[in-house]
Structure 1
Amino acid sequence: MRFFTAGESHGPQLTAIIEGLPAQMELQEEMINKELKRRQGGHGRGRRMQIEKDKVVISSGVRHGKTLGSPVTLTVVNDDWKHWTGIMGIEPLPEDIDPRDIKRRITRPRPGHADLVGGMKYGHRDLRNVLERSSARETTMRVAVGAVAKQFLRELGIHTVSHVTEIGGVTTDPAAYAGLSADKLRDIVENDPVYCADPAASAKMVEAIDSIKERGDTLGGVVEVIIEGCPPGIGSYVQFDRKLDGKLAGAMMSINAFKGVEIGLGFEMAKIPGSEVHDEIAWSEEEGYYRKSNRLGGLEGGMSTGMPIVIRGVMKPIPTLYKPLESVDIETKEPFVATIERSDPCAVPAASVVAEHVIATELAKAIMEEFRSFTMEGLKKELDEYREYVKGF
């Protein structure tokens, strides 16, 4: 499976094309729209979420609710486009208009964004040409693609969930949700204002977001993705680029504003001895091989172990501040305070939704590499036979 996304933040629409999905997989627009709505939610979101009501249109690759095996095209219309047609239009400018006179032209790069380096790389003197595509609005289609991947995984008995574990130094107590299944954890998270599974921490997170908003500043945090039901052996140890943990970590780091990733105990492993890190192996007739703990987060030697996959990512505070930082105008080279675009005081809850979907996408791709079938029924059969094989190994 492979996919591409296209579209600018204030352009007419966002598009994704997915190729390689097996035929006969159930897929409906509502399955995707539910996830797009979650991405737009969470306490701390800004005004853009009130403008855009993201709804997907499936325009190819699906007939009567099932995939055909041909490329699937997904489109989300930008409602705000009607206010930007003159600024972001595709047609050439009239000869009597100087490009420097275009409204909302940006020559002051914002610290922490792609503006300056992107302008240097692609030769843009109007930095709007950079920020329109580097905007986190692009994650709309990452979630849409991920919703398709989640449906694929769901049909294989693999379930995903994400939640927020930290915002602005407020951390959750893992005991509050220890032992909960992915489905039960999701029920709690989807009804929480910051997508957090610890009610006490959630209330403090909301307070922290409200406080930072009043100060014109922003907050970052940590999100966790959990995947249950993945069979052992997905990925490989034989080449570096086939290791599943490397692929998942790369997917997490590809999300806008993410600056760190860890699996299982993660960076805590640097502080404790190996006897408190590695997971002892056991076997039972019912389960086959399993681990007595899951400190390594369901991944060993670049492969899934059959235990839940647990991966976390850290999102930096959004760099667009209402008390903007200093920058330098690329035309005059004079110092100025950076341009302000619409911004959220905290987008960590939304980022947890994005994280779940990019991780689901990467796992779906890995499974399709392992089990090659042109139909969903055939792929299920292959996977069921493999599960029986590893259970009796």
Structure 2
Amino acid sequence: MFRFLTAGESHGPALTAIIEGIPAGLALDLDQINADMARRQQGFGRGGRMKIEKDKAEITSGVRFGVTLGSPITMLIHNRDWDNWQERMAVFGQPQGEPIRAPRPGHADLPGVLKYQRQDIRDILERASARETAARVAVGAVAKQLLAVAGITITSRVLNIGGAQTEAEMLEAIAKAKAAGDSLGGIFEVVVAQVMPGLGSHVQWDRRLDTRLAAAVMSIQAIKGVEFGAGFAYANLSGSQVHDEIYYEGSQGYCRRTNNAGGIEGGISNGEAIIIKAVMKAIPTLMKPLATVNIADKSEEKANTERSDVCAVAAAAVVAEAMVAIVMVQCLLEKFGGDSIDDLRLAINNYRIRIND
């Protein structure tokens, strides 16, 4: 069984990820992992933190001579800003040890302090921060390398920023939001290509591939909606317009000439590309903050302001690639098993021969 955990806070010494279930014998390319880490830090509209951090993963267990052992893999991502945090006053003149009392609307701040009975919002925001996704991207980069054994690839692209759909319009919208002390969200798409039919299952709700993928993408900070294929457009279409007709074409086998289903039918991959779109809300940290209530004395004041991004949709797309890769690996290993890469590869090849007979 493939599973993972992350640990660490935004301004703590490091983020940690532990992965269990990667078969033995997978040659891991650390440069590829770090390339995805760098992609997460890019994109117009990112904040000052990205000028400080140069994320790189350090593998401390489960790999020997660049090859997985079948034992748990531990990865460490050091926070460069940890040293700064210890030596200077926090951003905007707030001392490191002074409690934060003004929760941000749209953030985990208020529900977090209520749930965990904390008096300082920093006890919540440090872990709730999207900085945690750096560890997820490292895990997802390992998952992508395992998917490559099956020929499966994952890509993403940004479709919309604040209503803008061309690159020039998106850049202009982000620049205007920054000048106004505001933030923007948007829509991105993730595509999983070369997926064999048969991953996931219809037999229980929690084994359905679309259920698991939707949950994984929704787990990313600030994601508020997920759709597959035609998604919400289904509401406006009849059955004859929307369902993907089935054909059989030589060596390609069963196929479809449209993909409104987004590659999943009945909770099972159908052999077409899996297409997922997600909407990210505007980041709740604003340079012109919204009204809130001080949790100590209940007085009205402006929300706390942290150093933050204006727009992080491009980064969220990279994180979504990672989460999708993680779910796809889980389903791949559930279907084909194998404690070694050779066993996994053999099982996949035999399955492809069977379904193409």
C-alpha distance in structure 2 between counterparts of 1:70 and 1:31, whole Å:
21
Q: Which runs of structure 2 are paired with 1:116-155 in the superposition (5 Å)?
A: 116-155=110-149
| 1:322 corresponds to | 287
Q: Which runs of 5+ in 1 are unaligned?
A: 88-100, 172-200
Say if 2:317 is the partner of 1:346.
Answer: no
- Counterpart residue identity of residue 342, structure 2: E
| 1:218 corresponds to | 183
- Counterpart residue identity of residue 286, structure 2: L
Alpha-carbon shift at residue 28 of structure 1 (Å): 2.8
- Counterpart residue identity of residue 377, structure 1: D
C-alpha distance in structure 2 between counterparts of 1:223 and 1:302, whole Å:
22
C-alpha distance in structure 2 between counterparts of 1:214 and 1:102, whole Å:
28
| 2:247 corresponds to | 282
Kindly provide the CA deviation profile for residues 220-241 of structure 1, in whole angstroms up to 9, marking residues without a partner as x.
0001000111100100011111
1:355 alignment partner, SS class? helix
Alpha-carbon shift at residue 162 of structure 1 (Å): 0.4
- Counterpart residue identity of residue 38, structure 1: R
Kindly provide the CA deviation profile for residues 112-141 of structure 1, in whole angstroms up to 9, marking residues without a partner as x.
100111101111101100000000000001
C-alpha distance in structure 2 between counterparts of 1:28 and 1:280, whole Å:
40
| 1:184 corresponds to | none
> How many residues are treated as equivalent by the alignment?
352
C-alpha distance in structure 2 between counterparts of 1:224 and 1:104, whole Å:
41
Say if 2:159 is the partner of 1:158.
Answer: no
Alpha-carbon shift at residue 32 of structure 1 (Å): 0.8
Task: Could you list the structure 1 runs, at least 4 aligned residues long, displaced by more than 6 angstroms after superposition.
Answer: none
| 1:27 corresponds to | 28
C-alpha distance in structure 2 between counterparts of 1:274 and 1:47, whole Å:
49
Q: Which runs of structure 2 are paired with 1:307-386 in the superposition (5 Å)?
A: 307-386=272-351
- Given that residues 85 and 96 in structure 2 are in contact (C-alpha distance below 8 angstroms), is that contact kept between their aligned partners in structure 1? no
C-alpha distance in structure 2 between counterparts of 1:296 and 1:259, whole Å:
21
- Given that residues 248 and 254 in structure 2 are in contact (C-alpha distance below 8 angstroms), is that contact kept between their aligned partners in structure 1? yes
Say if 2:79 is the partner of 1:114.
Answer: no
C-alpha distance in structure 1 between counterparts of 2:352 and 2:38, whole Å:
35
Match of 1:229 among 187, 194, 203: 194
Say if 2:263 is the partner of 1:298.
Answer: yes
Match of 1:205 among 157, 164, 170: 170
RMSD: 1.5
C-alpha distance in structure 2 between counterparts of 1:37 and 1:309, whole Å:
25
| 2:226 corresponds to | 261
C-alpha distance in structure 1 between counterparts of 2:149 and 2:345, whole Å:
8
TM-score normalised by structure 1 residue count: 0.88
| 1:14 corresponds to | 15
2:240 alignment partner, SS class? helix
Say if 2:246 is the partner of 1:245.
Answer: no
Alpha-carbon shift at residue 83 of structure 1 (Å): 2.4
- Percent identity reads 52
TM-score normalised by structure 2 residue count: 0.96
Alpha-carbon shift at residue 102 of structure 1 (Å): 5.9
